[in-house]
Amino acid sequence: MSSNWTAVAMVFVGLFMIGGVFSFFKQGLRVGAVVLGVGAVLAITAGVLWW
């Protein structure tokens, strides 16, 4: 495992936000799901690049 806990936290936050995207789609909040999806992609990308 990585010794950089910030990277691990960013990936975790990104995965958590992906769960939120599914929840928003189920509720019919499409714009919120898109915004949350963009944030999730940014968080996961930051975590991977930080690794």
This prediction has a pTM of: 0.84
Yes or no: say if 24 and 32 are a contact pair by the CB < 8 Å rule. Answer: yes
Handedness of CA 25, 29, 31, 36 (dihedral sign): negative
Which pLDDT belongs to residue 30? 95
Helices 30-50 and 5-27: crossing angle, nearest 10°?
170
Yes or no: say if 7 and 50 are a contact pair by the CB < 8 Å rule. Answer: yes
Q: Cα(18)–Cα(16) distance, rounded to whole angstroms?
A: 5
For 2-48, write each residue's pLDDT tens digit.
Answer: 578 999 999 999 999 999 999 999 999 999 999 999 999 999 999 99
Q: Cα(42)–Cα(51) distance, rounded to whole angstroms?
A: 14
